[in-house]
Structure 1
């Protein structure tokens, strides 16, 4: 029930459909019971067992309603048979039975009709909520979680919840009500026989419940395993070149097949357990009915305390309990699987996001004086990546960060954009701590170009206009020209409306990077952050990209993280980092003259 409570907020928008489903399920349960009760008068007419009654009964009160109904029925059958014959009476009885069955099936259809809106609405809203939360969560969250596992939660687990929602409503309303109405009618026919039945029902229920143990735990393991093999698929497709070039197909085959084998074993185990529920519940039910036949037969044939027509209807009612009992046992397993899925989904939805806006966060659009990094410490886990790091970046100036891998250069970019927050110290824009600035406003002020040119499976225009989605074709083309990209875009089959393929795989590395730069140009932010933007390019592409970067950085406050030192010679200040600390800073010429660490790095890269 705790899992069901978590889902309640997602049910509220569709509560009218839930009420309508409950209403028609009540009607279904009522007509399902009445369909068997209607057999009694028909069989009494058929076997001429109807008590003759020519006096029309008078309704007294609700306490005598059963006797009134019996007397009225016998009066109607007697008078109708006397006036129009037994064939007409039988025809009326058959018409009543057909009408009840029609109403029963219509009620069942409308119950299912309305629950469709509820189930699919909840699944859509859950998927939307997980996706929205995924976009909101900090970058650090995804360094610990496998992408395939998240995909599994959005697809498989949300679908499992949708399936179990129907089971839950069956479990709460439809089947229990069918059983309750049936039992009430059974009591009205014979109290003695019904009490006898109830001696055996708890035993059956206990045996059925034993089957369902451990199902939730195994369902959780199965859903986790699904996440594992989806992750393997995602990683394999992402690194297919590496897999093939290292002849590692067999290794990845083994990893994937190991996961699917574990999934297979869990699925078979859970499926067999679920499949066992139906035959066991039916067999236990038939055992009860067999005992009922023996005991009830004695009441009809020996004790003469029950007439034959009522006993046949009673047997029909007793069998009518079996179908909902089977459905409840099946639904209870489905709900257990749904509970496991709900817990996995809410593990994401309830994940705390440490990077959020403060109350009354400041909206900011421009840089007046510059960026100040003041005595910041930052650690990913235990070891500090940055230690008492301080740096001032004046407005309109370009500051380059250089150093060996692991010196903390890219961490600065992650902190400026608030993908992470500092552990100690402050980062300020115009003397305002960036934690006091609205996150959306902060990131609007920044253009980010990374080493990996991230493009989406969409048109050139859609990729470039991410930061300014209402941009005109002319604005997009102007940005492409500044980024030295229009020369190849204009030759594409459909120009700026050409699809670039998955991750931009229809383009070369240099072309992709120039589109990334065009995206930042179109956004036109006052701060530009370039994280090793040219390190993966060949010499010709690097020249074009470097020229595009210089065009873009004019009059902008820029932070350039560079691996290739040839790209940052024109920077106003070059900061040399080692193990999270500044060891040197100055212009290119000043640092070369010092003959220190920067000079060594330049010598190692051997450029003129």
Structure 2
């Protein structure tokens, strides 16, 4: 129930719709009972099965409202029959019945009408809160998770919550009201017979609940397998070129078949149990009616009971009225058990603690004045340290290049500077302030990032360049593109700056994508620029264009450049050579060459290559 309560809290802002739904469901329940009470006794009079009423029934308060309405209806019909107007009586009965059923269904529609608003608003908030939580979580969270699982939680799990919890809400409001009102009138007719019913119904409930307990565990497995299933689809579509290139279609087909077979087995099990709810409750309801017929029949035939045959006839009709609500409630309880699995997965993400967040005393920082200092920092992703007692100072306005073999910790430094990860030991200072004491948004606002993988979104060229900058003008976007050497190819595109780049920018070449990434960083105009192997994936011609763009962009900026191609960082103010998380050399290009150490070896190897 804890998960149920957590999800239901999202309905609180829209409680007016819930109250309207409850209000109209109360009216529906009242008219639902009246549709039986109002016209069954009258039919009894019409066909001579009950005593005719010859006097007007007086009003004696709200408690006797039912007797007042029923008595006067019976009187009206009796009067018509005595006056020989049987056809008029039949028309009157028909119109009363039509009236009751019209308002019963009108109120049912209005209740459902307002429930739709409650459902849609709540589902929107559920999806938004889960999406925002995912976006706020650090990169380390996603390194161990499958993207398909996140997609599954945002889609299938939220859909399941809607289908189970929010749809069941109306059932659990409306149907108990119908049952309570019906049982109240059944008590008026016969206390002894109704007490007998109260003994039978809990037995049915225990049988149903014992089956529903098994449903949650299987449903949890279904949602987990659905996440794995979506991950396989996402991986297949993302890596289709590699799959085809290595003729691995059969391997992935087997993997997909195994997952879909598991999903089929689990979903079949869940649906088989869920489909059992309706026939099981109907059978138990029929068994209960048989028992009532047996017990009630004995009461009617007994001289000790004042239960009349016509009252027993009404009683059976009323009990039939609670069968469908009882079935609906049992089905709703099954659905809630099934929804609990999805709610648990929803709450699990919301409760995930974010280790990288603003401290209570974090401050804004809008300018960079002197230097970035890495002070005795150590960092590990899992067990082994990638950086060990590392120290480095980057003065304002200087270009510092990091070089070294793969795994030496170069990209890790960039990630730590942006606070995508937090150091395990030591501290990173900007103008003497620990970056943990700076609000994350303002810290990242000081930095521009260009990575090896040019990440573009399925949007226009202009929107990709102005990402995160809401008030950028067309002229500012064009100026940024010119600095990034991108304007020349953009003006030749079909819709120029309004051209869609395609999924992951697939409508553009690697060099074009990279220049758009640079234009994005230029438009942001940050004082600190971080370039993570920005040219390593490009051909020679594209590299030259991108390199010129980078040089323009880095003018008068503080730059941290992670380089794979050493020819691109010869003009750096400081070149830092790293090996296994430590600095082994640092200096200018010519100084390091004369030392003939690690840097000289790296340059020589690239020259030979």
Q: TM-score by structure 1 length?
A: 0.96
Distance 1:149 1:5, change over 3 A: same
Question: Could you tell which deviates more after superposition, 302-311 or 37-46?
Answer: 302-311
Distance 1:484 1:318, change over 3 A: same
Distance 1:495 1:40, change over 3 A: closer
Q: Quote the Cα distance in structure 2 between the aligned partners of 1:50 and 1:312.
A: 11
Q: Give the equivalent residue in structure 1 for 2:392.
A: 391
Q: Give the 5 Å matches for 1:132-211.
A: 132-211=132-211
Aligned-pair CA distance for 1:493: 0.7
Distance 1:50 1:528, change over 3 A: same
Tell whether 2:318 aligns with 1:317. Answer: yes
Q: Quote the Cα distance in structure 1 between the aligned partners of 2:599 and 2:559.
A: 20
Question: Could you tell which deviates more after superposition, 378-387 or 565-574?
Answer: 378-387
Q: Quote the Cα distance in structure 1 between the aligned partners of 2:605 and 2:573.
A: 22
Match of 1:200, SS? helix
Aligned-pair CA distance for 1:84: 6.4
Match of 1:214, SS? helix
Residues 167 and 334, structure 1, Cα contact 8 Å, conserved in 2? no
Q: Give the equivalent residue in structure 2 for 1:82.
A: 82
Q: Give the equivalent residue in structure 2 for 1:449.
A: 450
Q: Quote the Cα distance in structure 2 between the aligned partners of 1:69 and 1:9.
A: 41
Aligned-pair CA distance for 1:70: 6.0
Residues 45 and 90, structure 1, Cα contact 8 Å, conserved in 2? no
Question: Could you tell which deviates more after superposition, 305-314 or 415-424?
Answer: 305-314
Q: Quote the Cα distance in structure 2 between the aligned partners of 1:66 and 1:27.
A: 15
Distance 1:313 1:337, change over 3 A: same
Residues 372 and 394, structure 2, Cα contact 8 Å, conserved in 1? yes
Q: Give the equivalent residue in structure 2 for 1:581.
A: 582
Residues 299 and 307, structure 2, Cα contact 8 Å, conserved in 1? yes
Question: Could you tell which deviates more after superposition, 490-499 or 94-103?
Answer: 94-103
Aligned-pair CA distance for 1:102: 1.3
Residues 467 and 519, structure 1, Cα contact 8 Å, conserved in 2? no
Aligned-pair CA distance for 1:91: 2.3
Residues 467 and 522, structure 1, Cα contact 8 Å, conserved in 2? no
Q: Quote the Cα distance in structure 2 between the aligned partners of 1:94 and 1:255.
A: 64
Q: Give the equivalent residue in structure 2 for 1:218.
A: 218
Aligned-pair CA distance for 1:279: 0.5
How far does the alpha carbon of each residue in 1:208-264 deviate from its partner, in whole angstroms, 9 at most, with x for none? 223212211111110011110111111111111110000001111111111111111
Aligned-pair CA distance for 1:327: 0.8
Q: Give the equivalent residue in structure 2 for 1:538.
A: 539
Aligned-pair CA distance for 1:67: 6.1
User: Where does structure 1 lack aligned partners over 5 or more consecutive residues?
Assistant: none
Distance 1:53 1:212, change over 3 A: closer
Q: Give the 5 Å matches for 1:543-562.
A: 543-562=544-563
Question: Could you tell which deviates more after superposition, 512-521 or 71-80?
Answer: 71-80
Tell whether 2:381 aligns with 1:371. Answer: no
Distance 1:293 1:309, change over 3 A: same
How far does the alpha carbon of each residue in 1:317-344 deviate from its partner, in whole angstroms, 9 at most, with x for none? 1111211111111111111121111110
Question: Could you tell which deviates more after superposition, 401-410 or 40-49?
Answer: 40-49
How far does the alpha carbon of each residue in 1:79-128 deviate from its partner, in whole angstroms, 9 at most, with x for none? 44435633323322222222111111111111111111111111111111
Residues 115 and 170, structure 2, Cα contact 8 Å, conserved in 1? no
Q: Give the equivalent residue in structure 1 for 2:491.
A: 490
Q: Quote the Cα distance in structure 2 between the aligned partners of 1:223 and 1:285.
A: 33
Q: Quote the Cα distance in structure 2 between the aligned partners of 1:484 and 1:67.
A: 88
Aligned residues: 608
Q: Quote the Cα distance in structure 2 between the aligned partners of 1:53 and 1:467.
A: 79
User: Where does structure 2 lack aligned partners over 5 or more consecutive residues?
Assistant: none
